[in-house]
Amino acid sequence: MAKLGKRAKVATAAFEGKNNISVEDAVKLIKSAASAKFDETVEIAMNLGVDPRHADQMVRGVVQLPNGTGKTVRVAVFARGAKADEAKAAGADIVGAEDLLEIIQGGKIEFDRCIATPDMMPLVGRLGKILGPRNLMPNPKVGTVTMDVKTAVEAAKGGEVQFKVEKAGVVHAGIGKVSFSEAKLAENVRAFVDAVTKAKPAGAKGAYLKKVSLASTMGPGVAVDLTSATGN
C-alpha cells in the first residue's frame, strides 16, 4: 500500500468520523481539505437501487446545473449546410460530416460532447463502437440528436451535465470546482440529485437512492445525508 503524503494524511484525518453529514458541511469539508495545485473538481457519486442490465431499470438523463461545472466543454457537431453554420455560430469547436467521421475513426477525439442533426445519424451510427464506450454517442433522450443545434451547443457550453448509470448501479459526475462558493456547490449538488431522482425508472424496486457521496479530485470522499441531499 502506498504511503500517504503529509497533505493527504491531514485531509484523511479531517474526514475521520464524518459520515452522513449535510450537503453544506460536506462541501465545506471538501473545500477546506483540497490541497492540489490545480482547481480540483468536486465529484458526486450516487448509489442507486437499480440493475442497469435490465432495460426498465436504466437511468440516464441530463441536467443544467444552476452554477455550471467550471469546466470548458469542447463540442463536436455532425451537421451540414445551414445547420453546420448554426453550430459554428453557437460556439461549437468542431463541425463536420464525413470529414469529422474520418478524424474520429483515426483516433482523434478532441471533444467532450457530440451533437448531431437527425439526418446525420446513419453516418454517426458507424462510430458506435468508438463513441459508445466513451458515453459520447449522440442520443435524442439527452438532447444531443436535434435540429436545434444552437440550443444544444449553448447548453453543453453552459454547464449541462449528462448522466448514465454504470453496471454497479452508480451514477457519478463533476458538479463544480473547489473554487466555487459553498452555496453554489450545494445548489449544484441538489440540482443533480433532483435530476437523478426524477429519472427513476419504472422497473426500480425498493429503495432507489441508497447513498450519495462527495469528493474532490484528489481528496477523500464523504457520505451525505440523503434528506439533506434531496431537500426533503
Q: What pLDDT score was predicted for residue 2? A: 42
Single-letter code of the amino acid located at 44: I
Half-sphere exposure of 11 (CA within 13 A, CB side): 22
Q: What pLDDT score was predicted for residue 7? A: 56
Q: What pLDDT score was predicted for residue 130? A: 96
Single-letter code of the amino acid located at 188: N
Q: What pLDDT score was predicted for residue 220? A: 87
Q: What pLDDT score was predicted for residue 213? A: 95
Which structural domains are found in the chain, ordered by start?
18-69+160-230 (3.30.190.20), 75-157 (3.40.50.790)
Q: Which residues contact 38 (CB under 8 A, 6 or more apart)?
A: none
pLDDT one digit per residue (tens) for the chain, 232 residues: 344 455 556 556 566 656 789 999 999 999 988 888 999 999 999 999 999 999 999 999 999 999 999 999 999 999 999 999 999 999 999 999 999 999 999 999 999 999 999 999 999 999 999 999 998 999 998 999 999 999 999 999 988 999 999 989 999 999 999 999 999 999 999 999 999 999 999 999 899 999 999 999 988 889 999 999 997 6
Buried b / exposed e across 30-40, counting CB within 10 Å, b at 16+? bbebbbeeeeb
Cross-strand pairs, 76: 94, 114
Decide: helix, strand or coil at residue 130: helix
The burial class, CB within 10 Å (0-12 / 13-18 / 19+), for 66 is exposed
Single-letter code of the amino acid located at 205: K
pTM: 0.83
Beta strand spans in the chain (E): 41-48, 60-64, 75-78, 94-96, 113-116, 160-164, 170-177, 209-216, 221-224
Q: What pLDDT score was predicted for residue 3? A: 45
Decide: helix, strand or coil at residue 170: strand
